[in-house]
């Protein structure tokens, strides 16, 4: 047993899992990580965001998985200190034996009595509750797959403590399908918090419909993730022109002042009611580049085929249609240069420049769909170059 217990940087202890071959907590500070990720950025943040709701009913917390009980114990202590009702449900298919969780002394770390902390562990798989006037807890000895079968009538949860082992250890618990299933038991406006900030996890959450934000991480981690369940209420259809110069060697970029700062993208914008996609494209190009900016060789390039939530209106899902094109009059190429500028006739507040396709990279663009289509842009440029003999 002694070899399984490890000290972490903040003085709290953790346990090495023999099942997953990894520690249950961060070696940079088990207690610090749990407090920061799950209590401060999860439970406390949810209570602050919806104070009137939480006064009328308990804040429902769901944890995947219970582990050594540290997060559950901290949630109990928070409920008692803040005089807020909290109902906690945890999953733990591989319960930690009593000798190990007692040796960790997480009861002291949480500020709970050893009797109360023991009561938490005694609920595992026993269909009973632990707690007091402010806190109630139950822990099921089930895997997520087994639990999900019976979630149809499960009450919606306010906060998800997503504390599974890392994706390298439990890859099946970090997929898009998994996060879609977790969303099914989460209240509209509810949140999910996790220590894991890997790009693949963020993308899986976003693909599952969660609105994701990066937050400063606990000691030893630069970032953590917090995600909100906010249903999409409408589609935002947009159309853009990837305009090449006559040779196909350069592509026209647009720079616009938007909420959050200047953003670089392609010319184009939203489709208005009553317009077709091409109608909207022609209007947008005329508005942004001037009425003399006529396009030719307009060809469909790409239509969004993955989930993208609006960066400015979380209730919107973005559907974008891109076309490749060139200017009908080659002299129009000469209006734009290799530095951002606003030629006469262009829309005020916008700036444009040519960028060599071979030098174009994701860092040049701010929006995910624009970055996603870079391979298609390079292929289209190559096709134009072959046609023109450039």
pLDDT one-digit tens code per residue, 81-92: 999 999 999 999
Q: Give the class (CATH, top level) of 2-228.
A: alpha beta
| Residue 390, pLDDT score | 56
C-alpha distances in angstroms, 272 versus 282, 299, 304, 310? 12, 21, 18, 17
Query: Quick one: average pLDDT of 60-65?
Result: 94
pLDDT one-digit tens code per residue, 310-339: 888 888 889 999 999 999 998 999 999 999
Among 28-32, 198-202, 257-261, 262-266, the least confident range: 257-261
Residues 295 and 297: their CA atoms lie apart, in Å, by: 7
Is pLDDT at 53 greater than 60 in this prediction?
A: no
Residues 15 and 13: their CA atoms lie apart, in Å, by: 7
| Residue 89, pLDDT score | 94
pLDDT one-digit tens code per residue, 341-371: 999 999 999 999 999 999 999 999 999 999 9
Q: Given the DSSP bridges, would you call strands 223-228 and 211-216 parallel, antiparallel or unpaired? A: antiparallel
| Residue 312, pLDDT score | 81
| Residue 291, pLDDT score | 83
Query: Quick one: average pLDDT of 213-232?
Result: 92
β-pair partners for 216:
223
Q: What is the mean pLDDT of the chain?
A: 91
Are the C-beta atoms of residues 175 and 162 closer than 8 Å to each other? no
For residue 330, the Cα-to-chain-centroid distance in whole angstroms is 43
Among 158-162, 332-336, 356-360, 385-389, the least confident range: 385-389
Superfamily of domain 234-388: Nucleoside Triphosphate Pyrophosphohydrolase (3.90.79.10)
Is pLDDT at 389 greater than 80 in this prediction?
A: no
Is pLDDT at 50 greater than 80 in this prediction?
A: no
Residue 1's pLDDT band, with cuts at 50, 70 and 90, is: very low
Q: How many CA atoms lie within 13 A of 98 on its CB side?
A: 9
Query: Quick one: average pLDDT of 120-132?
Result: 85
Query: Quick one: average pLDDT of 137-144?
Result: 92
For the chain, give every domain's residue range: 2-228, 234-388
| Residue 42, pLDDT score | 97
| Residue 8, pLDDT score | 94
- Percent of the chain past pLDDT 70, that is, above it, reads 96
Residues 162 and 174: their CA atoms lie apart, in Å, by: 10
Is pLDDT at 57 greater than 50 in this prediction?
A: yes
Residues 354 and 222: their CA atoms lie apart, in Å, by: 36
Query: Quick one: average pLDDT of 88-97?
Result: 92
């Amino acid at each position: 047993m002694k070899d399984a217990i490890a000290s972490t940087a903040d003085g709290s202890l953790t346990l090495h899992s023999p099942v997953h071959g990894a520690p249950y907590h961060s070696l940079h500070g088990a207690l610090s990580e749990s407090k920061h990720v799950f209590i401060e950025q999860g439970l406390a943040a949810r209570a602050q965001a919806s104070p009137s709701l939480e006064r009328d009913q308990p804040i429902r917390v769901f944890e995947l998985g219970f582990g050594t009980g540290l997060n559950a114990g901290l949630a109990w202590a928070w409920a008692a200190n803040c005089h807020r009702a909290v109902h906690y449900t945890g999953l733990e298919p591989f319960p930690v034996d009593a000798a190990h969780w007692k040796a960790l002394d997480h009861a002291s770390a949480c500020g709970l009595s050893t009797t109360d902390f023991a009561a938490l562990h005694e609920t595992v798989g026993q269909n009973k509750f632990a707690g007091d006037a402010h806190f109630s807890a139950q822990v099921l000895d089930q895997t997520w797959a087994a639990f999900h079968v019976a979630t149809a009538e499960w009450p919606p949860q306010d906060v998800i403590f997503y504390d599974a082992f890392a994706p390298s250890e439990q890859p099946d618990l970090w997929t898009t399908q998994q996060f879609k299933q977790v969303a099914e038991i989460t209240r509209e406006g509810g949140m999910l918090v996790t220590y894991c900030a890997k790009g693949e996890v963020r993308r899986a959450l976003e693909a599952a419909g969660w609105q994701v934000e990066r937050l400063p991480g606990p000691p030893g981690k630069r970032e953590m993730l917090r995600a909100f369940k906010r249903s999409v209420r409408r589609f935002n259809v947009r159309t853009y022109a990837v305009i090449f110069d006559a040779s196909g060697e350069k592509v026209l970029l647009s720079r616009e002042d938007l909420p959050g700062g200047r953003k670089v993208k392609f010319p184009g914008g939203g489709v208005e009611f009553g317009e077709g996609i091409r109608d909207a494209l022609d209007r947008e190009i005329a508005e942004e580049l001037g009425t003399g900016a006529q396009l030719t060789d307009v060809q469909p390039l790409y239509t969004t085929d993955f989930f993208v939530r609006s960066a400015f209106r979380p209730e919107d899902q973005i559907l974008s249609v891109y076309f490749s094109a060139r200017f009908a009059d080659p002299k129009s190429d000469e209006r734009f240069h290799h530095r951002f500028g606003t030629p006469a006739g262009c829309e005020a507040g916008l700036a444009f420049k040519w960028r060599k396709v071979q030098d174009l990279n994701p860092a040049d663009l701010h929006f995910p769909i624009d970055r996603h289509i870079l391979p298609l842009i390079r292929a289209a440029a190559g096709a134009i170059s072959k046609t023109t003999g450039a």
